Amino acid sequence: MNTEVYIPDYYRVFERVVNGWHLKTGKVFYKKLPIDIDFNDFELLYGISKQQIATELFRVAGGKAGYYLANLRHKQYHYCGQNPLDVKKKLKSLGIGRDDPMES
């Protein structure tokens, strides 16, 4: 099962587990900036703290276990489901990604 996704830098995937929230870390594969930036410094990049993000994610589905998607630039939060592939489905519903990378 391939759960690899490519998303804009302002989207983050979180997983709700029994003891809190886990940020699903990724790798930057393209960067236009000439300086190094910590892409997990949400306060610097988006003006929002990790606590505020956790609160907003909790509000989306009442803290239900599973995967969540956060658009930190526009402060939009989505519950995806309990399966990692649900993240891909949610991204596609938001117009991000496609089944076949060769399709236009």
Report if residue 6 sits inside a domain: no
Tell whether the model's pLDDT for residue 103 goes beyond 90: no
In which domain, by residue range, is 20 found? 11-26+38-80
Overall domain count for the chain? 1
CA pair distance 7, 13, nearest whole angstrom: 10
Tell whether the model's pLDDT for residue 42 goes beyond 80: yes
Mean pLDDT confidence for 20-42: 79
* pLDDT recorded at residue 6: 80
Report if residue 17 sits inside a domain: yes
Report if residue 44 sits inside a domain: yes
| Straight-line distance from the first to the last Cα atom of the chain, in angstroms, rounded to the nearest whole number | 24
Report if residue 90 sits inside a domain: no
Let me know: does 82 contact 65? Beta carbons within 8 Å: yes
Report if residue 59 sits inside a domain: yes
Report if residue 53 sits inside a domain: yes
* pLDDT recorded at residue 100: 66
Its sign, for the CA torsion 87, 90, 91, 92, is positive
% of the chain residues with pLDDT over 70? 88
CA pair distance 27, 38, nearest whole angstrom: 12
Let me know: does 68 contact 57? Beta carbons within 8 Å: yes
